[in-house]
Amino acid sequence: MIPPSTVARPSTTLDLSPITATITLSALAHNLSELRRLVHPTCDILAVVKADAYGHGAPTITQALIDLGIQRFGVATVQEGSALRAHGVTQPILVMGGLIPSHIPELIHQRLTPVLSHEDMIYALAESLPRHAPPYPVHTKVDTGMRRLGFNPESVVSWLDSKPFESKLAIEGVMTHLADADDSNQEFTEQQLACFQTVLTHVKRAGHSIALIHAANSAGIMYHPSSHFTMVRPGLMLYGYTTRKPRNSDIALQPVMNVSTHVVHVRSAKPEEFIGYSRGFKTTRTSKIAVLPVGYAHGYSRSLSNRGMVLIQGQRVPIIGKICMDMMLVDVTDLAHVGIGEEVVLVGKQEHEEISVEEIADSLGTLPYEVLCNIGTRAHHVYRPH
């Protein structure tokens, strides 16, 4: 029989997790107040919390935003909407992604608001509603240039005039999505907005009064005031990031997420020694190497092998060799003493140094969205007020 261990168990799962995303809720509040400075006070805000709130943890982020006065949320799928309902979110939730008929029973059961982009879904939803049910609120999307979801601009009015909208469906919102709002050349966005405006004029002329008219993602909010209409749909900027450089200097966003791990082993290596898989790195000096328990299984891209940096003791230290599935190696030769359990920041600030999500995204040739989703959704989340 194995004797009972005398080693104390860790008090929280935090102690067991290799990768921790610390979420600072005051930064979320700050970003929201920066956003509010950009939009008209009467403009509604729908917070986009899809993909687990871009890796920040949708249930807690949604609740924090409710506490900050946000009353509408956007997700990609019925599944994400149901998960929020299961966490007690009663506010309107807009399902912005594509739908198929088999999603409808759950959509109705959870009182989620669909974005309709295809006539089949208009009829499928109308037919699924109980006979004398009150009109079900829906939004409809107009494709003004994204070429993804949405009705052709010319067909929108005829769909709003169609039978399902006479009694079964109530049109609460009309939206479009901007394809290129962060481009410093604003021409394409202006064309999209002009097209949307024409559709809205025809919708109005046809006698439809629409409460929620929306087009702006974060870049629209920041760079295209004419895209704000009666509601905006921020995602990325709430979490403290932008895709355009230089950033809009009128606002100062604060990153909400800091991702950290810890050293699990420290070893020395002689000059000219190969390190890791595929002999991916060769030392040039007597080296001290720290092993970190994070790899591509945790969403930390293998493409950062021999390229990425982490922070230890407030210093930038390089990743050496190939990033493994659940480990990676960093060169800590230039640090005084590095011990097992020492904190390592993968994303965010440590003392006066910072590794931003944008820096990692640039290095990978991708966008902050992908870095946040990959790392954030796999990390153990810890929420702190400040």
Ligand X SMILES: Cc1ncc(COP(=O)(O)O)c(C=O)c1O
Q: Of how many residues is the chain composed?
A: 386
**The pairing of beta strand 309-312 with beta strand 257-262:** unpaired
The residue sitting closest to ligand X, measured at its beta carbon, is: 235
- Min separation Cβ 30 and ligand X, Å: 16
Report, in Å, the least distance between residue 181 CB and ligand X: 8
> Is 165 or 239 the residue whose CB approaches ligand X more closely?
239
Evaluated on CA atoms 370, 375, 380, 381, the torsion sign reads negative
Shortest Cβ distance from residue 44 to ligand X (Å)?
13
Choice between 54 and 300, CB closer to ligand X: 54
How far is Cα of residue 116 from the mean position of the Cα atoms in its chain? 22
Between residues 172 and 342, which has the closer beta carbon with respect to ligand X? Answer: 172
Amino acid at 264: V
Shortest Cβ 243–ligand X spacing (Å): 7
- Residue 160 makes CB contacts below 8 A (sequence gap 6+) with 140, 171, 203, 206, 208
Q: Which of these is catalytic: 50, 141, 168, 322? A: 50
Nearest alpha-carbon partner for 380 in 11, 9, 19, 12: 19
Amino acid found at 110: Q
- 151 token code pair: 């009705």
Taking the complex as a whole, how short is the minimal distance between the CB of residue 57 and ligand X, in angstroms?
16
Q: Which two tokens stand for residue 309?
A: 């940096």
Write out the residues near ligand X by the rule CB under 6 A.
48, 96, 177, 217-219, 233-237
Q: Number of C-alpha atoms within 13 angstroms, CB side, residue 197?
A: 10
Shorter beta-carbon distance to ligand X: residue 97 or 308: 97
CB of 312 or CB of 371, closer to ligand X: 371
Report helix angle 58-67 to 78-86, nearest 10. Answer: 70
Q: How far is the CB of 206 from ligand X (least distance, A)?
A: 24
Please name which of 204, 324, 330 lies closest in space to residue 267, comparing C-alpha atoms.
Answer: 330
- The CA distance from 19 to 296, in Å, is 12
Interatomic CA distance for residues 88 and 46, integer angstroms: 18
**CB closer to ligand X out of 218 and 227:** 218
Is 50 a known active-site residue? yes
- Cβ atoms of residues 55 and 257 within 8 Å: yes
Which CB, 18 or 234, lies closer to ligand X? Answer: 234
For residues 329 and 372, which CB has a smaller minimum distance to ligand X in the complex?
Answer: 372
Report yes or no: 218 and 247 within 8 Å, Cβ to Cβ.
no
Task: Indicate if 277 belongs to the active site.
Answer: yes
Tokens of residue 106, six digits:
């759950």
CA 13, CA 381: separation in Å to the nearest integer? 10
User: What one-letter code names the amino acid at 232?
Assistant: V
Q: Mapping DSSP to helix (H, G, I), strand (E, B) and coil, where does residue 139 land?
A: strand
Exactly one of 136, 241, 277, 369 is catalytic; which is it?
277
Closest CA to 266 of 193, 333, 348: 333
Minimum Å gap between C-beta 329 and ligand X is: 34
Smallest distance from ligand X to CB 234, Å: 5
**Distance between CA atoms of residues 239 and 235, nearest Å:** 7
Tokens of 80: 């994400």
Q: Which residues are catalytic?
A: 50, 277
